[in-house]
Amino acid sequence: MLSLADVSAGYGSFRALFDVSLSVAAGETVGVIGPNGAGKTTLMRVISGLVAAVAGAITLHGRSIKGVPAHRIVAHGIAHVPENRRLFPRLSVEDNLKIGAFIPAARQHFADQLASVYELFPKLSERRSQPAGTLSGGEQQMCAIGRALMSRPKLLLMDEPSAGLAPLVVQQVFELIRRIRGQGLTVLIVEQNVQQVLDVVDRAYVLEAGRIRLAGTASELRNNDFIRRSYMGL
Amino acid sequence: MDIFLLEAVINGLLLAGVLALLALGLNLIFGVIDVVWIAYADLVMCGMYAVYWLFAEYGWPLPLAFAAAIVGVAALGLLVHLLIIAPILTSAPINQLLATGGLLYFLQSFATLLFGTDFRNIGIRLPIIEIGGIYVSYARLLAFGVALMGAIALYLFLKRSYVGTAIRAIAQDREIVGLMGVDQRRIYLVTSAIGGALAGLGACLLALQYDVHPFIGNTFGPLIFMICVLGGLGNMIGGFIAAFIISQIIAIGGYYYSTELSYVLAFMLFIVLMFIRPQGIVSR
């Protein structure tokens, strides 16, 4: 479904990604793990068009989406849950979800999609008219995921959904990811929480210093010595 | 209460309507695009000339002249954004201020060149209404009502529509709205057109009450800026409230002393408030 071949990208003269290649098949849940500053967020931003790739190819269903600006990417069926959630804090929860359905194709299904997001996150329904900035961290993450789902995406990009959340809430977020993948959505998730993310993904890539260092299925990586030593502290 | 004071208070209230409408337009543009259109009141002047020429000179029906002025100033707003703001969107705010300040002098000089410095009136004398000994100008009453309807229409648009919701969202996170499919450039254009349309509507309402001349913008432009800053730049509700406060100061001050002194009072209060509450009277 999504494929990156030798993608390089950065900000100005700073290069954050070097010849990154990865692929995600339809229906798969794929993880990208790595330390802080490895380029994980840049990788997500390159896919959704917020950062331009300087080299390489990015294709979705075999068609190039390289150079497509961010505001057109969502119409291709890609929704991005950004790092730190980035809700519109002074808009109500429901207005945040409404913005998620901004593209014409999503507007038609607004009512149905809103109902299904509220079904997935009953808490959001309770707080629908509250400013999003007043939600708890976990609720904000749910709102950010809900906002992305409102565009009815085929591929969901999640950038560190567990960051900054209490351990119990982290559990809920991963439980949620399990439910979302159960609905047939393709998910690409970036995480530092290696142990937990390997429990919800089919495959994962290890990104270090802007390069793919290792790739494999979740169980391969869980038993890999390097991963156990560097990321699980075992 | 003294009946003449009451009359002054009511007239102040009615004046506030149009000022609030114009403050809404300026605040909308600042809140969304993050630029201050120094020449905003001069777009109103252009609209007033449009009403004057179409109605008084070419004999168009008044509603048609009004509609044309609103559309015309909305188009002017688009041009201001495309020609002046868009090319310098990422440069320092002072450059943007200087550019729109330059536009102010351009529009005033251009109007002087085209129309001379004559005061022109569209020649409609709307009646003065007497209610229990209080005299209220019908033109002001009408202007107040229409301005209020304009403000409500804007509110509903911003609250209910997708584009309106995007306009409210973009000021809170310019980058992330793109991920939802919102094209920032398009939202800026829509916002500039709405800002222009509000200036056009204000022009229609002011043309009913005042003569038009190339420098009419100077008489209420500073008031609109003061209202916006007092309410908190970019804060539309704050600006709305501030319009009523400033108008009352001017109306009541004008009743007890003189209009000129009441302007002095209003600006003094403004300066003092800027020391005490620089973020504006209404906090978010």
Question: What confidence tens digit (pLDDT) does each residue in B21-52 have?
Answer: 999 999 999 999 999 999 999 999 999 999 99
Chain B residues with CB-CB distance to A46 below 8 A: none
Residue A210: C-alpha distances to residues A8, A14, A52, A214, A218 (Å)? 9, 11, 15, 12, 21
C-alpha B189/C-alpha B223 separation (Å) is 26
Give the residue from chain A lying closest to B186, CA to CA.
A71
Contacting residues for A177 by C-beta, under 8 A, at least 6 apart: A29, A158, A161, A187, A189, A200
Instruction: Please give the pLDDT value at position A86.
Output: 95
Q: Give the best residue of B156, B161, B179, B190 to mutate against chain A (max A CB count within 10 A).
A: B179
Strand partners, A14: A11
CB atoms A88 and B183 under 8 Å? no
CB atoms B179 and A74 under 8 Å? yes
Query: Considering only CA atoms, which of A108, A115, A181, A189 is closest in space to residue A146?
Result: A115
CA end-to-end span of chain B = 35
Q: Give the best residue of A47, A74, A102, A151 to mutate against chain B (max B CB count within 10 A).
A: A102
pTM (2 d.p.): 0.91
Give the other-Cβ count within 10 Å of A163's Cβ: 17
Give the residue from chain A lying closest to B163, CA to CA.
A102
C-alpha B42/C-alpha B16 separation (Å) is 19
Q: Give the best residue of A46, A50, A71 to mutate against chain B (max B CB count within 10 A).
A: A71
H-helix or E-strand spanning residue A158: strand A155-159
Q: Answer whether A6's CB lies under 8 Å from A56's CB.
A: yes
pLDDT, average across residues A70-82:
95
CB atoms A91 and B168 under 8 Å? yes
How many contiguous H segments (helices) and E segments (strands) does chain B have?
A: 10, 2
Instruction: Please give the pLDDT value at position B284.
Output: 57
Q: Cα A71 to the chain's mean position, in Å?
A: 16
Residue A27: C-alpha distances to residues A30, A154, A160, A203, B186 (Å)? 10, 9, 20, 12, 34
Instruction: Please give the pLDDT value at position A89.
Output: 96
Chain B residues with CB-CB distance to A49 below 8 A: 178
Closest residue to B180, CB basis, from A49, A89, A99: A99
Strand partners, A57: A5
Q: Answer whether B208's CB lies under 8 Å from B142's CB.
A: yes
pLDDT digits 0-9 by tens, A195-208:
899 999 999 999 99
Closest residue to B181, CB basis, from A96, A98, A151: A151
Residue A4: pLDDT over 90:
yes
CB atoms B165 and A91 under 8 Å? yes
H-helix or E-strand spanning residue A214: strand A211-217
Instruction: Please give the pLDDT value at position B7.
Output: 86
Chain B residues with CB-CB distance to A90 below 8 A: 168, 172, 284
Instruction: Please give the pLDDT value at position B278.
Output: 80
Strands A155-159 and A78-81: parallel
C-alpha B86/C-alpha A26 separation (Å) is 41
Instruction: Please give the pLDDT value at position B262.
Output: 87
Chain A residues with CB-CB distance to B169 below 8 A: 88, 91, 95-96, 99
Q: Answer whether B95's CB lies under 8 Å from B85's CB.
A: no
Residue B223: C-alpha distances to residues A129, B18, B217, B266 (Å)? 35, 11, 10, 9
Give the residue from chain A lying closest to B170, CA to CA.
A88
Q: Would you state the structure tokens that stand for residue A82, as one six-digit string?
A: 């950004």
Q: Answer whether B12's CB lies under 8 Å from B141's CB.
A: no
Chain B residues with CB-CB distance to A98 below 8 A: 162, 165
pLDDT, average across residues A11-22:
91
CB atoms B169 and A91 under 8 Å? yes
C-alpha B147/C-alpha A175 separation (Å) is 52
Instruction: Please give the pLDDT value at position B130.
Output: 85
Angle at A206 between CA A200 and CA A208, to 5 degrees: 145
Average pLDDT, chain A: 93
C-alpha A81/C-alpha A71 separation (Å) is 14
C-alpha B73/C-alpha B204 separation (Å) is 11
Closest residue to B182, CB basis, from A50, A102, A106: A102
ipTM for the assembly: 0.90
Query: Considering only CA atoms, which of B142, B190, B199 is closest in space to residue B162?
Result: B190
Chain B residues with CB-CB distance to A107 below 8 A: 162
Residues of chain B with pLDDT under 50: none
Instruction: Please give the pLDDT value at position A9.
Output: 93
Instruction: Please give the pLDDT value at position B122.
Output: 87
Chain B residues with CB-CB distance to A71 below 8 A: 177-179, 181-184
CB atoms B181 and A98 under 8 Å? no
C-alpha A121/C-alpha A142 separation (Å) is 7
Query: Considering only CA atoms, which of B58, B22, B20, B34 is closest in space to residue B195?
Result: B22
Chain B residues with CB-CB distance to A134 below 8 A: none
CB atoms B178 and A71 under 8 Å? yes
